[in-house]
Amino acid sequence: MSHADQKIHFPASSIKELLISSHQESLYDVDEDLLDKRIKGTLTALLSVFLARWTKPSASQHMLKFFRQADPETKHISRAAEVFQKTLRVLKKKVKQRYNQEKLDDAFSKGLYSFAWQYFWTHFMFLFVRQNPRWGAANTALVRWLPAEYEDGESEPKGWNPERLHNGFQLPPARTVSREIMTSASKWKDDSYSQLLVDWGQYISHDITLTPQSTSTDGSDVDCLKTCENVHPCFPIKMNDGLQGCMPFFRSTSDCFVNFQSGIRQALQRQQLNAMTSFIDASAVYGHNQKLESFLRDLPGRNGKLAVNARFKDPKGRPYLPFVTKLPSACHQDLQGERVECFSAGDNRVSEGLPLTSLHTLWLREHNRIAEALKHINGHWSPEMIYQETRKIIGALHQIITLRDYAPKIIGPESFKHYIGPYRGYDPSVDPSIANVFAAAAFRFGHATISPILCRLNESFQEDERFPHLRLHNTLFSPWRIVKEGGIEPVLRGVIGSAASAVSADMLLADEVTERLVVLDTLKQMDLAALNLQRGRDHGLPGKILAESQICHSNAIRLSSSYQSDSNHSTPCLKKQTKKTHIICRIDCKELALFPKPSLFTGKQTNLRWACRYGFFSQGNLSAVPYQWCSWW
> pLDDT, tens digit, for every residue of 273-300?
999 999 999 999 999 988 999 999 999 9
DSSP secondary structure of 537-576:
HHTTPPPB--S-GGGGGSS-----GGG---SS---HHHHT
Mean pLDDT along residues 112-138: 57
Q: Please tell me the distance from the alpha carbon of residue 299 to that of residue 314, in angstroms, as a whole number.
A: 23
Per-residue confidence (pLDDT) for residue 166, from 0 to 100: 82
The three-class DSSP label of residue 469 is coil
615-624 per-position pLDDT tens digit:
433 333 332 2
CATH architecture entry for 130-633? Orthogonal Bundle (1.10)
Nearest CA among 361, 465, 356, 403 for reference residue 67: 356
- 500 φ, ψ to 5°? -70, 155
Q: Where are the alpha helices (DSSP H) in 308-353?
A: none
When pLDDT is cut at 50, 70 and 90, the band that residue 181 belongs to is confident
Per-residue confidence (pLDDT) for residue 332, from 0 to 100: 93
DSSP secondary structure of 222-234:
--TTT--S-BTTB
Per-residue confidence (pLDDT) for residue 202, from 0 to 100: 96
Among 19-23, 433-437, 570-574, whose mean pLDDT is lowest?
570-574
Domain range summary for the chain, segments of one domain joined by +: 3-129, 130-633
Q: Please tell me the distance from the alpha carbon of residue 239 to that of residue 236, in angstroms, as a whole number.
A: 9
Mean pLDDT along residues 167-192: 86
As a dihedral over the C-alpha atoms of residue 74, residue 144, residue 615, residue 440, rounded to 10 degrees, the angle is: 60
Mean pLDDT along residues 513-539: 88
- State CA 238 to chain mean position distance: 21
Query: Exposed e or buried b for every residue in 254-278, given b needs 16+ CB within 10 A?
Result: bbbbbeeeeeeebbbbbbbbbbbbb
H or E stretch covering 112: helix 106-123
- The catalytically annotated residue of 23, 62, 166, 206 is 206
Mean pLDDT along residues 486-490: 97
Q: Please tell me the distance from the alpha carbon of residue 470 to that of residue 624, in angstroms, as a whole number.
A: 44
Per-residue confidence (pLDDT) for residue 264, from 0 to 100: 59
The three-class DSSP label of residue 210 is coil
Report whether pLDDT(228) > 80.
yes
Contact 493, 477 (CB under 8 A): no
> What Å distances lie between residue 559 and 125, 373, 585, 613, CA to CA?
45, 57, 11, 19
Per-residue confidence (pLDDT) for residue 102, from 0 to 100: 57
Q: Please tell me the distance from the alpha carbon of residue 214 to that of residue 209, in angstroms, as a whole number.
A: 16
DSSP state of 630: G
Nearest CA among 569, 567, 585 for reference residue 577: 585
Per-residue confidence (pLDDT) for residue 571, from 0 to 100: 45
Q: Please tell me the distance from the alpha carbon of residue 429 to that of residue 288, in angstroms, as a whole number.
A: 23
- State CA 540 to chain mean position distance: 14
4-48 per-position pLDDT tens digit:
444 445 455 566 676 677 767 766 666 665 545 554 554 454 445
The three-class DSSP label of residue 252 is strand
Q: Please tell me the distance from the alpha carbon of residue 398 to that of residue 528, in angstroms, as a whole number.
A: 27
Q: Is the dihedral of CA 206, 211, 212, 213 positive or negative?
A: negative
- At what angle are helices 354-377 and 195-208 packed, to 10 degrees? 70
Among 131-135, 254-258, 467-471, 545-549, whose mean pLDDT is lowest?
545-549
Highest mean pLDDT among 237-246, 372-381, 441-450: 372-381
Percent of the chain residues topping a pLDDT of 70: 64
For residues 312 and 600, which has the higher predicted lDDT (pLDDT)? 312
Report whether pLDDT(212) > 80.
yes
Per-residue confidence (pLDDT) for residue 240, from 0 to 100: 73
The three-class DSSP label of residue 515 is coil
- 513 φ, ψ to 5°? -105, -10
Which residues belong to the annotated binding site? Answer: 447
Among 21-35, 82-96, 117-131, whose mean pLDDT is lowest?
117-131
pTM of the model: 0.78
Q: Please tell me the distance from the alpha carbon of residue 486 to that of residue 491, in angstroms, as a whole number.
A: 9
Nearest CA among 198, 147, 57 for reference residue 541: 147
When pLDDT is cut at 50, 70 and 90, the band that residue 115 belongs to is low
> What are the counts of helices (DSSP H) followed by strands (DSSP E) for the chain?
22, 13
Per-residue confidence (pLDDT) for residue 151, from 0 to 100: 92
* Residue 311 identity: R
- At what angle are helices 72-99 and 106-123 packed, to 10 degrees? 140
Highest mean pLDDT among 110-124, 337-351, 517-531: 337-351
When pLDDT is cut at 50, 70 and 90, the band that residue 185 belongs to is confident
Per-residue confidence (pLDDT) for residue 578, from 0 to 100: 35
Report whether pLDDT(318) > 80.
yes
* Residue 514 identity: T
Contact 293, 287 (CB under 8 A): yes
For residues 533 and 424, which has the higher predicted lDDT (pLDDT)? 533
Report whether pLDDT(259) > 90.
no
Per-residue confidence (pLDDT) for residue 45, from 0 to 100: 47
3-state secondary structure 8-71: CCCCHHHHHHHHHHHHHHHHHHHHHHHHHHHHHHHHHHHHHHHHHCCCCCCCCCCHHHHHCCCC
Among 72-81, 345-354, 420-429, 480-489, whose mean pLDDT is lowest?
72-81
Which residues belong to the annotated binding site for heme b? Answer: 447
Nearest CA among 54, 518, 525, 62 for reference residue 329: 62
Per-residue confidence (pLDDT) for residue 585, from 0 to 100: 39
343-375 per-position pLDDT tens digit:
999 999 999 999 999 999 999 999 999 999 999
Q: What's the chain's average pLDDT?
A: 76
Q: Please tell me the distance from the alpha carbon of residue 63 to that of residue 74, in angstroms, as a whole number.
A: 19
Query: Exposed e or buried b for every residue in 94-106, given b needs 16+ CB within 10 A?
Result: bbeeeeebeebee
Q: Is 206 a catalytic residue?
A: yes
